Amino acid sequence: MDSIQARLQPFPQVLVPNQDRIAQDRARYSAVKLSDEEFADLYEANKSKVYSVALRMLANPADAEDVTQDVFVKAYRKLADFEGRSQLSTWLYRITVNRCLDVLRKRKRQRTVPLEEAMGSVSQGSSLKQVIEGLIPTLPPGYRAVFVLHDIQGLKHHEIARQLGVSEGACKSQLHKARLILRKKLKPFLEGIA
């Protein structure tokens, strides 16, 4: 029997269920399990934040709905992973942005929306805000994420940097470049206004 035990020794630990860990997980999951009402409240409070980021990142309502669904399903299942060191909405933003970047990576050919096409959706009488909405998808994904999170959603640089896994300096630099790109494309609009 000893020889058998010796041979089982290098058995991958991941395959051997750790009963203590399972018990801890069970206690943890049951402690933070949301009721239907609690989940509905969580959804109502954050649905627009999540969906707005997803839609502006992906420029596709169907993809944005899928991402929003993924985010809330994951939030429901993984609420135990939320350590409370940031706001819940910040945690949701992180899941959302990561998911959006995954989607953008998985798109076989990253389709950059041409300026003419983006501007085509904007009529002559469109406001500057509508024009900006139309131009956001023309930004590179990294710049887009920083611009959406900082200038639209109002997150701080250190929060965005942590979410995107970049330095705060890189985050500021990307935001500045995103603004310069948008300002260049919006030049005709801004000249008469600003």
**Spatial CA neighbour of 49 closest among 31, 17, 75:** 75
User: Which of 35, 84, 123, 193 is the binder for other proteins (CB under 8 A)?
Assistant: 193
How far apart CA 35 and CA 38 sit, in angstroms, is: 5
Q: With binding defined as CB under 8 A, does residue 4 bind other proteins? A: yes
Question: Taking the CB of residue 178, how many other CB atoms lie within 10 A of it?
Answer: 22
Tokens 């705060």 found at: 168
CB distance 56 to 146 below 8 Å: no
DSSP class of residue 86? Answer: S
CB distance 110 to 139 below 8 Å: no
User: Which of 58, 63, 68, 92 is the binder for other proteins (CB under 8 A)?
Assistant: 68
Window 104-163: residues binding other proteins (CB under 8 A): 128-129, 132-133, 147, 151-152, 154, 157
Tokens 């860990």 found at: 21
User: Which of 64, 92, 155, 160 is the binder for other proteins (CB under 8 A)?
Assistant: 64
At a CB cut-off of 8 Å and minimum separation 6, what does 25 contact? 80
Closest distance of CB 30 from other proteins, Å: 10
Closest distance of CB 125 from other proteins, Å: 16
Summarize as ranges the residues that interact with other proteins (CB under 8 A).
Answer: 3-4, 7-12, 14-17, 22-23, 25-26, 29, 36, 39-40, 43, 47-52, 55-56, 64-65, 68-69, 72-73, 76-77, 128-129, 132-133, 147, 151-152, 154, 157, 172, 175-176, 179-180, 182-183, 186-187, 190, 193-194
